[in-house]
A and B are shown apart, each in its own frame.
Chain A
Amino acid sequence: MQKYLLRRALFALGTVIGVSIIVFVVLRILPGDPLVALLGVEGHSKMTPADRAVIMRDLGLSDSLPVQYVRWMRDIATGQLGKSFFRGDTVRDLILHRGPLSAEIAFLSLVISWIIGLPVGVLSAIRPNGWADAVARLLSILFIAIPGFWLSMLVVLALLFWFGYKAPLLVVHVWENPWQNLQLVIGPAVVLGLAQGAYIARMSRSCLLEVIREDYVRTARAKGAVESAVVLRHALPNALLPVVTISGVLLGFVLGGSVAVEQAFGVPGLGRSLVTAISERDIIVVQNLVLFYALIFVAVNVLVDLSYAWLDPRIRYQ
């Protein structure tokens, strides 16, 4: 087990370092001048080469790439994660301020996806090809197909024009005002949760359909167990393994999808910060946020792998 953990940890570290190198290099070779965002269109057009040299030096962009990379790693090691190119705010403060909102959205959306997806999947599996199954499959495909940002915009507009409602404009943490905080996160969480719920419904349906035909399920029925006990106590736990796996993968979609959904809802989370930083070409913020997202994704996948043994006693780590 310890060897397995060590191996997984090393793989995870390698992945994170790989991501850091890729994002670092890509951000620096992409076309486009970061000084346009700094000086504005008018200022940029009036900048002399001498001004450019001074500004690039001040921003640390005239150093060689290895020097810049080492400096970034040092910033990570000190916990500051570097400073915004332009205003000097630290990325650590940005993550501490806005990260909790995005984490809540991700967590809530996962909860919502299970609350919706699992019962729908079970219902479809125990009455395959019936009307409930047909409706469930239709809705699943619909929510998988609809882009999250588009659905978000519809929700925002519907709430505004029908009820004159808009969520709070500022970051409100759950410990400051739970009600206002809920208003901020619930919209994105539901939109993201519906899309994930659709995947989970389809996955749990197909897994349950397989398991439900197994001998031990037939045995349970033969022993006179009621149908609900057969499904929920005998079949479902064994069908959940792939669903847990897909939940880990879906978290990656949540992280990616939250960028667009936060933007559409106007929620000031990390996803929105990433969009703004990309449009500003604030490469220090972008590289740190991408790395942060990668770190979470890798960590969740390791946790999912580790949870297999707990869910399925047949699995042993070697």
Chain B
Amino acid sequence: MADPVPHKARMSPVSRRSFLQTLGVAGAAAGVAPAFLRRADAQEFMLKAADPAAKPGGTLRFGILNAPAHFDVHQSGTISNLGGQAPMYDLLIRRDPRDGNTIIPDLAHKWEVSPDGKRYTFYLRKGVKFHDGAEMTAEDIRATYERIVRPPKGVVIPRSSLFTAVGDIVVVDPYKIEFRLTEPRPRAYMLGAFASGWNVIVRKKTLDDNGGNLRQVMNYPGTGPFRHVSRKDKEVWIQEKNPNYWNKNLPYVDRLEIYNLPAFSPELGSAFLSGKVDYARIMDPISWRKAKEMPGVTATAMNQSVIQAYFFNMKRKPFADPRVRRALHLATDRHVMVDVVKDTAPMQVGGFVYPFHEWSTPKAQLEKRLGYQKDPKAAIQEAKKLMAAAGYPNGLKNLDFVVRDLASFKLWAVAIQAMLKDTLNVESNLRVVQTSQWFEEAGSGNFDLAISAIVSSLMDPSDYFTAWYGKGGPQNYSGWTNEEFHSLAHNLEREVDENKRKAMIPRAEEILENDPPLVPVAWEQIYDAFYNRVRGQNATKFFGIYDVTRWDTVWMAQS
């Protein structure tokens, strides 16, 4: 939809100044934007490794879950796809792989956002070629995003919900494209959505030739730094350096060997510890601790975009009462929860908002709050009072507790079952089911309590406030509603002033604490380990593993 404000007046050029302002969202935390970006002219911006000693050559052997159920990155929600496919594709804009956070140019060398937040204009690089030799133009960007925003029937794209405000996608010329929003969205939110690692740019022709569905198309052309060489299902994906890559400095390594090694598995740990891979991602804690002790190895931890939680069936009587839900929330000792799985999966304590987000309650403050204290006595006392006030002083019996058949959920379920019994005399029967069945049970409301994990694409609350806690939200398995919260979330999603948005979060947290839609059990972390010959990536500040898996700035100190 066209905005009545004249184009010239409406646009605020972002090419250099605003580009740096955008960087400032992340850079502000450090107080200053990185030096290399302050010097950069956005139109000429070419990415390179931070270390001037970076040299080309060598092979990177990367171990990660890499057994996709299909090949359509847009339709995926698992690292199984991005782990193997991300290096072959580019985005419109991207997160800087050197810090994992700053948004920098990619196929768009600059962009502009109108002051009312309703128009995003991207200027594309010229001369960018797909791996099949075709030139990338705005038509490819439009085809890619039309599909993401409005997927055809039978094509399910989890990130479509990030772009609900996108109306028209207009090709102004072959190297300029506009996204016209029907209503404003916060700049950080929208740019974060465009920079999401899932939104890889594919050819319009590829989509046309395959009826808009790439699930069974293994090698479709991208513009990325690496090209497909060969693939053995559930074994390895081999890629080679793209010699025609538009970013002339990149990539450094000549060859990528991406081994399929499942997350948290001893197999991944043993492959790394025996030196069969140079870089391992999503390691189990035991192998990771072993790696940490090894000379010549760096072991890192980063935050992941996943909350582990258990849900209530709000249609069943006791859980319609917020006091009962809050009582269970308070009786769940999160420090114990993290400890219970310390050898299975790395976790951290948190509430309803990403605990490491700058808007959430700081950790020190959170640990003073009931339900998050290291000593749970006060929380349990309060929980008992709430149960009594709700009419359940003697607890609850025979709750059906549906558990996803994964190691951490099974460990937690047993611990939660014991905790609730000991503290509130709430008795539950565990029912362990396969993942595919868990979603059937949760979707059809066939449970009292159900434990699982849910994921978001962005750290911005507007993403997961809608998906996890929103009325009818796709991952609101409890069926929770709270009109004040929904109204607040609605405003948060449309408010373009970041300060006003930030000011809404404490109230949102307060509502969620008192009327919990779920019980946060823990927030996931990711353990990486790499031999020190692998240089050029700092995985400690990444938010999740999905946006920065392209390996273009990585180089090998020894081949």
Residues in A lying within 8 Å of B, measured CB to CB: 31-34, 36-48, 50-51, 54-55, 58, 86-89, 94, 97, 153, 156-157, 160, 164-166, 168-171, 266, 268, 273, 276, 279-282
Q: Which of B261, B453, B474 contacts A46 (CB 8 A)?
A: B474
Q: List A contacts of B70 (CB < 8 A).
A: 38, 86-87
Known A-B contacts A42-B475, A44-B439; the reply to A89 vs B233 at CB < 8 A is yes
Q: List B contacts of A40 (CB < 8 A).
A: 69, 76-78, 158
Q: Which of B157, B235, B435, B474 contacts A268 (CB 8 A)?
A: B235
Question: Which residue, B436, B439, B452, has most C-beta atoms of chain A within 10 A?
Answer: B436
Q: List A contacts of B191 (CB < 8 A).
A: none
Q: Which of A39, A266, A281 contacts B77 (CB 8 A)?
A: A39
Contact B439 A41 (CB under 8 A): yes
Contact A86 B154 (CB under 8 A): no
Q: List B contacts of A86 (CB < 8 A).
A: 69-70, 215-216
Known A-B contacts A36-B439, A160-B273, A280-B69; the reply to A45 vs B475 at CB < 8 A is yes
Known A-B contacts A46-B161, A160-B270; the reply to A166 vs B276 at CB < 8 A is yes
Known A-B contacts A40-B158, A54-B154; the reply to A45 vs B474 at CB < 8 A is yes
Contact B273 A164 (CB under 8 A): yes
Which A-B residue pairs are the 10 nearest by beta carbons?
Answer: A54-B154, A40-B77, A32-B436, A42-B77, A166-B274, A45-B474, A32-B437, A88-B216, A42-B158, A36-B436
Q: Which of B67, B76, B153, B216 contacts A43 (CB 8 A)?
A: B76
Q: Is B234 an interface residue (CB 8 A)?
A: yes
Produce 1/0 per residue, B162-186, CB < 8 A to A: 0000000000000000000000000
Residue in B closest to A35 when the chains form the complex, CB atoms: B436
Q: How large is the interface on B (under 10, 10 to 19, 20 to 34, 35 or more residues)?
A: 35 or more
Contact A33 B439 (CB under 8 A): yes
Contact A46 B232 (CB under 8 A): no
Contact A87 B440 (CB under 8 A): no
Residues in B lying within 8 Å of A, measured CB to CB: 67-71, 75-78, 153-158, 160-161, 215-216, 218, 232-236, 259, 261, 266-267, 270-271, 273-277, 433-437, 439-440, 452-455, 474-475
Report the Cα distance A66→B270, complex, angstroms. 46
Name 7 extra pairs, CB < 8 A, besides A43-B157, A46-B160: A31-B440, A37-B435, A42-B77, A58-B154, A157-B266, A166-B273, A169-B259
**29 CB < 8 A contacts A-B:** A31-B440, A32-B435, A33-B437, A36-B436, A38-B69, A41-B77, A41-B435, A41-B453, A41-B455, A42-B158, A42-B474, A45-B474, A51-B155, A51-B156, A55-B154, A55-B156, A58-B154, A86-B69, A86-B215, A87-B68, A88-B216, A94-B233, A97-B232, A164-B274, A165-B274, A166-B273, A166-B276, A268-B234, A281-B434
Known A-B contacts A38-B69, A50-B153, A54-B154; the reply to A169 vs B271 at CB < 8 A is yes
Q: List A contacts of B75 (CB < 8 A).
A: 39, 43
Residue in A closest to B152 when the chains form the complex, CB atoms: A54
Report the Cα distance A279→B156, complex, angstroms. 21
Contact B156 A46 (CB under 8 A): yes
Report the Cα distance A281→B439, complex, angstroms. 14
Report the Cα distance A31→B234, complex, angstroms. 26
Residue in B closest to A50 when the chains form the complex, CB atoms: B153
Distance between B24 CB and nearest chain A CB, rounded to angstroms = 30
Q: List B contacts of A273 (CB < 8 A).
A: 234
Contact B232 A170 (CB under 8 A): yes
Residue in A closest to B476 when the chains form the complex, CB atoms: A45
Residue in A closest to B290 when the chains form the complex, CB atoms: A161
Residue in B closest to A272 when the chains form the complex, CB atoms: B234
Distance between B260 CB and nearest chain A CB, rounded to angstroms = 9
Report the Cα distance A94→B439, complex, angstroms. 29
Distance between A43 CB and nearest chain B CB, rounded to angstroms = 5
Q: List A contacts of B160 (CB < 8 A).
A: 46
Report the Cα distance A282→B68, complex, angstroms. 12
Distance between B405 CB and nearest chain A CB, rounded to angstroms = 9
Known A-B contacts A43-B157, A50-B153; the reply to A266 vs B267 at CB < 8 A is yes
Contact B71 A87 (CB under 8 A): yes
Contact A43 B232 (CB under 8 A): no
Report the Cα distance A266→B267, complex, angstroms. 6
Distance between A174 CB and nearest chain B CB, rounded to angstroms = 17
Known A-B contacts A36-B439, A156-B266, A160-B274; the reply to A41 vs B454 at CB < 8 A is yes
Contact B436 A33 (CB under 8 A): yes
Known A-B contacts A51-B155, A51-B156; the reply to A43 vs B274 at CB < 8 A is no
Report the Cα distance A37→B475, complex, angstroms. 16
Distance between A223 CB and nearest chain B CB, rounded to angstroms = 59
Q: List A contacts of B475 (CB < 8 A).
A: 42, 45
Distance between A36 CB and nearest chain B CB, rounded to angstroms = 4
Q: List A contacts of B271 (CB < 8 A).
A: 166, 169
Residue in B closest to A83 when the chains form the complex, CB atoms: B216
Residue in A closest to B160 when the chains form the complex, CB atoms: A46
Q: Which of A50, A94, A153, A164 contacts B275 (CB 8 A)?
A: A164
Residue in A closest to B475 when the chains form the complex, CB atoms: A45
Q: List B contacts of A55 (CB < 8 A).
A: 154, 156
Known A-B contacts A34-B436, A280-B69; the reply to A171 vs B76 at CB < 8 A is no
